[in-house]
Amino acid sequence: MRSGGLIRSLKPHIRVRVSIIGLLCPLLFGSCWDPQAAATVHIVGHGGLGTGAGLLMDTPASLRGALDLGADGIEMDVQMTRDGELVVFHDMHLGVLTSCTGRINDLTWDQLEPCRYGTLEPGSRIMRLADLKAVLADRKATEIVLDVKLMTSGDWSTYLDELATNLAGIIAANGWTERVRVECRIPEFLEVLGGKGEVKRSLYCDDLNEGAITAERLGLQGLTLNQRNVTREEVRSARAKGLHVSLFGVDGRISLALALRKNPDALQVDELPAILRMLENSGP
């Protein structure tokens, strides 16, 4: 949701207060966040450059663009084809963005490879996760976040095991153990993945306190959630337990200020070029 939509969704008295904050912060202080917090938080591009940057998310051009701008990391969505190939694609249905129809897991890679994006980057292809190494080249992204999306019409347990095995294999083969963080909404998958080798795992959740309980039970390393759904104290408590906290829902000055005040480890941001400019212009 864009920041304007967020403001409209608030109750009237809160909306007025947030609007005033949004006006006064840049006028009086230049920013509404602690410069130290801004300097230490990792800025991760959502799908690369994020929404609103003129490129599709999860494409090589968008991912390279984020790294070229100096983002600390890049986030991308991962799904598995019917024959076990891991691909980088956001939507559950191919027809939303490409010339093909159906779901990723219904097709083999050979069937998927001819699919082409139809908007913003017409003619470009869906990227395999194995091709990420070429995108990274010699760039040193601090963090690579893989948001695993699960959908299959086959046997669930077999699907989870194959996906976890293939994902852990790619991470290990490329020496990405320290750079990659895998996040998913389904605890069962994260549990299976934990048995495949050394992989940093984060639960994508809606409630931090409930998520922290699950993380402790499964031995997870982090939590990912919308910055609107968490307080500064909850973030502090989770980090004190050794959990990495990543917040998303950052796409403008107000949401950036609110998220930075909560002092997370990382922010997954949309409108990456604009967010980086805000942070640079608010420095000492």
Quick one: 134 and 261 in the same domain?
yes
Quick one: 12 and 143 in the same domain?
no
At 35 the pLDDT is 77
Quick one: 128 and 186 in the same domain?
yes
Question: What does the alpha-carbon distance between residue 284 and residue 280 come to, in Å, rounded to a whole number?
Answer: 9
Once rounded to an integer, what is the mean pLDDT over residues 209-224?
Answer: 98
At 9 the pLDDT is 40
Quick one: 5 and 131 in the same domain?
no
Q: What is the DSSP letter of 103?
A: B
Quick one: 18 and 144 in the same domain?
no
Question: What does the alpha-carbon distance between residue 230 and residue 198 come to, in Å, rounded to a whole number?
Answer: 29
Domain that holds residue 61: 34-281
User: What's the one-letter identity of residue 135?
Assistant: V
At 34 the pLDDT is 72
CB 89 within 8 A of CB 58: yes
The number of beta carbons lying within 10 Å of the beta carbon of residue 265 is 18
CB 96 within 8 A of CB 126: no
CB 248 within 8 A of CB 206: no
Quick one: 150 and 228 in the same domain?
yes
The predicted model scores a pTM of 0.88
CATH number of the domain where residue 216 is located: 3.20.20.190
The residues pairing with 143 across neighbouring beta strands, listed in sequence order, are: 73
The number of beta carbons lying within 10 Å of the beta carbon of residue 178 is 11
Which tokens go with 198?
Answer: 């050394």
User: Regarding beta strands 86-88 and 73-80, do their DSSP bridges make them parallel or antiparallel, or are they unpaired?
Assistant: antiparallel
**pLDDT, tens digit (0-9, with 9 covering 90-100), for 83-115:** 999 999 999 899 999 999 999 999 999 999 999
